[in-house]
Amino acid sequence: MPVYSVSDAEHQMKLPLLFDEHSLRHYLEKTAGRTVSLTLTKNSCSMISVKIHGRSVSLRLHRMFLYAETGVLAEIAEMIKNKKGKTPHISRFIKNNAAGIERKPKRLKINAHGKFYNLLEIYDSLNKEYFNSMVSARITWGAKSPRHAVRRRTLGSYFKDNGMIRINPVLDSGKVPRYYIEYVIYHEMLHADMDAEAANGRRSVHSKEFKRRERLFKYYEKAIGSLFSHTSP
C-alpha cells in the first residue's frame, strides 16, 4: 500500500490509512451505484454533507474518513443511495476520533485603544523597559461591568490558555494617572512572564519572587499608595 502524507491531527487518530481520495471515491461509487463528486475537508462542524443530483452525488467528507473501515463506509454508501436509515457506525467513528478533529480557535475580540489610554503603547514600553521585549502576551480592554457591580473590581487579569491580558475599562479615565495603569499592566505582564510558579507542589500566583520583581516597578510605592483611590466609578 502506498504511503500518503497526512496532517498531525490525522496522526493523532492512530488508525491505519485505508484509502486515498481516489480509492475512497471509487469504493463509494461501486458500493452506492452512483457517480460521486468527492471533496475531503477539515471542517470541524460538518463531518458529512450529501447532495444528490439525479444519478450523481456531491459528497463532502472530513478527512478522517480516509481511515474508516468498511462498516462505516457502507453506511455512507446508504446515505448516498437514499439519505435515510440509521448510522450507528458513522456516529461511533466520529465520537471515537473526535480528539483528532482540528478545531478552529475562537476569534478573540481585541481592543487596545481606549478613550484616554492605548494599552498596546503602554505594554510595548513596559516590555522594553522591564522584560527585554520577551513577554509575548496580547492585551485588550475588558468588557464593561454593570454599574451595580463595582464593590470589588478586578482591575487586570492574565489568561494563560490564550495568552491574553485584560484590563478593566474603568481605568480608561482621565482621573486615572498613567503610572497607575502602568502598574496594573506591569503586574499582569509579570504573571505572563513568570507563568504562576509552583511552590511546594501548589500553585503560587504571587510568590516571593513575584513580589520581589513587582517592587522593581519604578512607581510601585506610589501606585500601591493610591490603590483604592482610582477604582471608584
User: What pLDDT score was predicted for residue 60?
Assistant: 87
In-domain check, residue 3: no
Same domain, 64 and 147: no
In-domain check, residue 113: no
Structural domain span for residue 14: 8-100
In-domain check, residue 114: no
- As a whole number of angstroms, the distance between CA 9 and CA 147 comes to 46
CATH number at residue 74: 3.30.2010
The phi, psi pair for 202, rounded to 5°, reads: -115, 150
User: What pLDDT score was predicted for residue 108?
Assistant: 66
User: What pLDDT score was predicted for residue 43?
Assistant: 72
Same domain, 78 and 167: no
Contact criterion met (CB below 8 Å) for 171 and 117 = yes
Residues in contact with 160: Cβ distance below 8 Å, sequence separation at least 6, in sequence order: 195, 196
pTM for the full predicted model: 0.53
**Cell 478533529 identifies what position?**
101
Same domain, 47 and 78: yes
Same domain, 73 and 163: no
Same domain, 202 and 173: yes
Same domain, 23 and 58: yes
In-domain check, residue 2: no
Total domains in the chain come to 2
pLDDT tens digits in sequence order for the chain, 233 residues long:
333 333 333 333 344 456 788 888 988 989 888 899 999 888 766 688 788 888 888 898 888 888 888 889 989 998 888 767 778 888 888 888 876 666 655 666 789 999 999 999 999 999 999 988 888 899 999 987 655 444 446 889 998 878 899 999 999 999 999 999 999 999 999 998 887 443 443 445 678 889 999 999 999 999 988 764 554 44
Same domain, 38 and 77: yes
CB < 8 Å & 24+ apart, contacts of 19-27: 19/66, 19/68, 20/66, 21/66, 24/61, 24/65, 24/66, 24/73, 27/73
